[in-house]
Structure 1
Amino acid sequence: MEKGRKGELEMMEAAGLEKIEGGGDSSSEQGPVRQVSLMRLVLACAVAGGVQYGWALQLSLLTPYVQTLGLSHALSSMMWICGPIAGFVVQPIVGYRSDRCRLAFGRRRPFILAGCFFICIAVLIIGFSSDIGFALGDTKLHCRDYTGSRVHAAVIFVLGFWILDFSNNLVQAPARALISDLSGAKGCNQANAIFCSWMAFGNIIGYASGSTGAYYKWFPFLMTKACCEACANLKGAFLIAMVLLLISLTVTVIFANEVPLSEMEAEARETGESTLTEIDSPKKEENGGIFNFFRSFKKLPPGMLSVLLVTCLTWLAWFPFNMYDTDWMGREIYHGEPKGTPSQVRAYERGVRDGAFGLLLNSIVLGATSFLIEPMCRLWSARRVWVTTNVILCVLMAVTCIIGSWSLKEFHNTNQQNITVRKDVRALALTLFTVLGFPLAILYSIPFAVTAQLAATQGGGQGLCVGILNISIVLPQVIVSLGAGPWDQLFGKNNTPAFAVASVVGLVGAIVGFFKLPRLSGQSFKTIAIGGGH
């Protein structure tokens, strides 16, 4: 028996699995955990970079582009409501089911594989929406000659947008849970630093791609009678996103050598360790159906409701900028209009590309900050760091309003026909984008980190807790999607009113967090997952 055990360990090492962790805080909830080697862990996180590349394109390009199809500024915000709906339904349920998935392929990889397949479908629909709309009869004119609305193209585009958001949510919860599964208690900090780095890398190349306006030159075959330069740039960027996603998915599927749940249970019985508390009676759970998911809310660890509340407030302060950052650059800073005169359209497109460049700078700061989070939390505690960055977010959103108002005032005091951007205003705007990378890194990390620690020490299941945490992200997105556009329309056509509300909500989030967040020590944070995400 001992010899067989030794042979098994040798086979694990050959496969890149270093050891089995049993006991401790984490294993009490997760059962025996095989901790993988560093190189295998790096490669297993690759899908995070591929998904984030596409997400960066979605954030930087899609809101401006859909306005060129005829959707108004106010209605374009409502397009984003698909993400909250998908996230509210998909992530918690997928997280719950992936905790219990008994396939030989693993618990998390089947969901990641399915999500990436649907992302590819969505990318094709979005990229070719103008061509599909043209075929359905939007117009017979060349895209250079037609500036009206394209209803069919807009509907196809929004359909693809919905599928894309649905698919992103299908991937996210299992991907985060997979990292916790593979890392083990001792490697959790290191694994999630790698995960966050992949996401920062995906952001950087995604925003760099979004700021590039030369795809129609590099791939002239992308241009058609229905698809001119801006459309061809979007199409090229998203086709490259699909290729990179498939490559990163292949790497993750190969190197994320998951242990099937049945093997974990069998090994736990042999070693005398407890298995996952939420699957102690799997047959009973399966017979209970989806209602077991709603009953599982009772299993949330103490302190989780406070984390959900503060996360909700923080994202409520972030989403106006998140949805309208490049549109803000195009309108308030570059003084363009997506459906205006040719000079206004060109100014708007330059602003969108410059906004994507600002998001690239933002992602560089985000990636660098991710490695500073653990030392900061050991020094000041996760609660203080989170609260402090909410105050910083409040100030920066207020600065956004000031810069936008100043830019518009200066422009209206000059010759209206001369559409230019002041160099000092542009520099301030890009600086703002860059500095916002710091609080964004905190938001991408600490809520998930605190959730992982609570789930590991107090129960609830990693997949389930991460999925439910996503509800506190999608709920503010619903509010902003429904309210930001009409709110801006009430005061004018620009983005400043929504950013002003965001500043106030950021301050409220800081106050609530100071009094309500659980007090985790810096030492506890050493084993918390530091991840990224949207």
Structure 2
Amino acid sequence: MEVETVKGVDTMEFGAGDREERARREVSLVRLVFSCMVAGGVQYGWALQLSLLTPYVQTLGLPHALSSIMWLCGPIAGFLVQPTVGLWSDRCYSKFGRRRPFILVGCLLISTAVLIIGFSSDIGFALGDTKEHCSVYTGPRWKAAIVYVAGFWVLDLSNNAVQGPARALMADLAGPEKVNAANAIFCSWMAAGNILGYSSGASGKWHKWFPFLNTKACCAACANLKGAFLIAVIFLLCCVAVTLIVAQEEPLEKKPGMKEENTGFLDMLKDIFGAFKSLPPGMPYVLLVTAVTWLSWFPFILYDTDWMGREIYHGNPDGTAAERDAYDRGVREGAFGLLLNSVVLGISSFLIEPLCRKLTPRVVWVISNFSVFAAMAGISIVSKWSVDGYNGSIQQAINASPKVRAVALFIFTALGFPLAVLFSVPFAVTAQLAAKAGRGQGLCTGVLNIFIVLPQVIIALGAGPWDALFGKGNLPAFALAAAFAFICGFVGIFLLPKLSRSSFRSSSMAGMH
């Protein structure tokens, strides 16, 4: 869920500069649409990852208190991989173009990681986890868990490796004249990928449609995940093929005698951390509010479908067959809620700019944080309501209370609007402050990214133990998230800089997951 930070390269310094400028002027809207298609393929896999993987790893034996730690890879990859790959792609002289080689290799690695995750139970079974059938075995499967976590980390690293070059390719093709349209197209593909991915995760029919996915080591829930990820691989490969064919990048040609800049990773980090010394006025407060905002959001990103399976459907991934079935139903219901969330996110992304022009970015950001507070507090209340109304009946667990389900789905859906704000306004505010101060926009965005990554690390390390400390499932993490969102709302009122309505530009928005 991070934005790339690269040192900009002026392509006009290279022999291909004139050709690129002509291509930008001539690029059609249709070509932009298909060139951005890879965003939909990558986001399809992200949606499956966000909705299914935290619940699934618990069925392999990883305790709930430790399941959040595997998400540490995302922040680490966002901090290290995206800037590095982005910088390398800026200076790539391949005859296939600057961005396309990295997009292709990254998508192939994503496909490999997805297959590893999907078949982790079968691999663990082959390595000797157990000889019992999955329908009767309820113990841990540590070899499968290790394979799964390894695949998960490769997937996160690969996703981050593709994001930077894919966004840079969009900007290369569009140029300043069409960057607004390109951003809208890119975000639309991401929304489409989310909708398709969450729809796939919400389906419980993959093991019926493709019965060969059921094995001695992989029963219905596992086979459903395997089927969804196999479709994700096919969809991603189709999307990347279209992007690579349609984009038609011009390779860079270095002028004779031109001196190359140092592109070392340490030099890049030096530039980013050096930016702390010359931040634009108001930027420290933006960083503070961004960090607290992510502290309030990341518990939901980690535990949304797990919450639906445990607190709403009263399931248990380590329990009896009936409890596991109830948990699986809840996870699929949570994926459906995220599907509705993505629809609202896609619609809201087109409303953020006019709202910021009318109310100012600061007011929109503050409203968003108070909306998150209301949602997280609502999740805590619904959890208490659901648990108190549960009498231990297996039938009640399988069906869940219709009223509780309806409220839970409403909260999932309503969070689409503040999520659209989270994915756009902080980056637009940063770009505006950097432009006003005449500072490097890329470096300021890099510093902002650090304050997105650090809260994710804190939550990934602390959310599971925090929940275990109180022994109340996911409720403690969501209650703490509500407190952070409430504090952040008031901090934003008093500390966020006052920015003009007219200078807010949709081209400053950054699409994220």
User: What TM-score does the superposition give when structure 2 sets the normalisation length?
Assistant: 0.89
The Cα shift of 1:283 comes to: 2.2
Q: How does 1:503-522 map to 2 (within 5 A)?
A: 503-522=482-501
Residue in structure 2 matching 1:529, options 486, 505, 508: 508
Is 2:70 the counterpart of 1:79? yes
Residue in structure 1 matching 2:306, options 297, 321, 327: 327
Matched letter for residue 260 of structure 2 = K
Identity between Structure 1 and Structure 2 (%): 61
Residue in 1 that maps onto 2:477: 498
Comparing 309-318 with 349-358, greater Cα deviation is found at 309-318
Is contact 2:285-2:495 (8 Å) kept?
yes
Residue in 2 that maps onto 1:460: 440
The Cα shift of 1:518 comes to: 4.4
Residue in 1 that maps onto 2:80: 89
Q: 2: distance between equivalents of 1:131 and 1:40?
A: 42
Question: Residue deviations 1:338-389, cap 9 Å, x none?
Answer: 1112221111111111000001010110111111111111112222212221
Question: Residue deviations 1:267-305, cap 9 Å, x none?
Answer: xxxxxxxxxxxxx9852424xx32211221235762554
Residue in 2 that maps onto 1:283: 260
Change (3 A) 1:10 1:451: closer
Q: 1: distance between equivalents of 2:152 and 2:108?
A: 15
Residue in 2 that maps onto 1:136: 127
User: What TM-score does the superposition give when structure 1 sets the normalisation length?
Assistant: 0.86
Is contact 1:82-1:165 (8 Å) kept?
yes
Q: 1: distance between equivalents of 2:327 and 2:506?
A: 46
Change (3 A) 1:443 1:144: same
Q: 1: distance between equivalents of 2:136 and 2:235?
A: 34
Q: How does 1:44-55 map to 2 (within 5 A)?
A: 44-55=35-46
The Cα shift of 1:11 comes to: 8.7
Q: How does 1:126-525 map to 2 (within 5 A)?
A: 126-262=117-253, 283-286=260-263, 289-297=264-272, 298-299=274-275, 302=280, 304-412=283-391, 418-419=396-397, 420-453=399-432, 458-460=438-440, 462=442, 466=445, 468-525=447-504
Q: 2: distance between equivalents of 1:452 and 1:282?
A: 29
The Cα shift of 1:415 comes to: 5.0
Comparing 161-170 with 79-88, greater Cα deviation is found at 79-88
Matched letter for residue 64 of structure 2 = H
User: Match of 2:423, SS?
Assistant: helix
Is contact 1:383-1:513 (8 Å) kept?
yes
Any gaps of 5 or more consecutive residues in structure 1? 1-7, 20-34, 267-279
Residue in 1 that maps onto 2:114: 123
Matched letter for residue 78 of structure 1 = I
Change (3 A) 1:327 1:9: closer
Matched letter for residue 138 of structure 1 = D
Change (3 A) 1:310 1:408: same
Question: Residue deviations 1:158-177, cap 9 Å, x none?
Answer: 00011111111112223233
Is contact 2:344-2:413 (8 Å) kept?
yes
Is contact 1:92-1:468 (8 Å) kept?
no
Comparing 185-194 with 443-452, greater Cα deviation is found at 443-452
User: Match of 2:424, SS?
Assistant: helix
Q: 1: distance between equivalents of 2:145 and 2:17?
A: 56
Change (3 A) 1:193 1:453: farther
Residue in 2 that maps onto 1:274: none
User: Match of 1:283, SS?
Assistant: coil
Matched letter for residue 105 of structure 1 = F
Change (3 A) 1:426 1:100: same
Is contact 1:193-1:531 (8 Å) kept?
no
Is contact 1:119-1:163 (8 Å) kept?
yes
Paired positions, count: 492
Matched letter for residue 150 of structure 2 = L
Q: 1: distance between equivalents of 2:433 and 2:34?
A: 27
Question: Residue deviations 1:130-186, cap 9 Å, x none?
Answer: 010000000111111211111100000000011111111112223233333333223
Is contact 1:95-1:466 (8 Å) kept?
no
Q: 2: distance between equivalents of 1:284 and 1:342?
A: 60
User: Match of 1:442, SS?
Assistant: helix
Residue in structure 1 matching 2:32, options 41, 48, 63: 41
Matched letter for residue 428 of structure 1 = V
Matched letter for residue 405 of structure 1 = K
User: Match of 2:502, SS?
Assistant: helix
Question: Residue deviations 1:220-272, cap 9 Å, x none?
Answer: 11111111111111111001111111111122222334444547x89xxxxxx
Question: Residue deviations 1:304-348, cap 9 Å, x none?
Answer: 544433322211111101110111001111111111122211111
Matched letter for residue 56 of structure 2 = Y
Q: 2: distance between equivalents of 1:383 and 1:220?
A: 52
The Cα shift of 1:9 comes to: 12
Comparing 466-475 with 372-381, greater Cα deviation is found at 466-475
The Cα shift of 1:10 comes to: 12
Residue in 2 that maps onto 1:29: none
Matched letter for residue 394 of structure 1 = F
Matched letter for residue 148 of structure 1 = G
Question: Residue deviations 1:461-500, cap 9 Å, x none?
Answer: 64x6555543332221111111111101111141111011
Matched letter for residue 434 of structure 1 = T
Is contact 2:323-2:394 (8 Å) kept?
no
Matched letter for residue 460 of structure 1 = G
Comparing 36-45 with 181-190, greater Cα deviation is found at 181-190
Change (3 A) 1:227 1:50: same
Question: Residue deviations 1:181-236, cap 9 Å, x none?
Answer: 33322322222111111111111010000000110111111111111111111111
User: Match of 2:77, SS?
Assistant: helix
Question: Residue deviations 1:497-526, cap 9 Å, x none?
Answer: 101111111123333333444444333223
Change (3 A) 1:63 1:9: closer
Residue in 2 that maps onto 1:31: none
Matched letter for residue 478 of structure 1 = V
The Cα shift of 1:437 comes to: 0.6
**Please, what is the CA RMSD of the aligned residues?**
2.6
Change (3 A) 1:354 1:527: closer
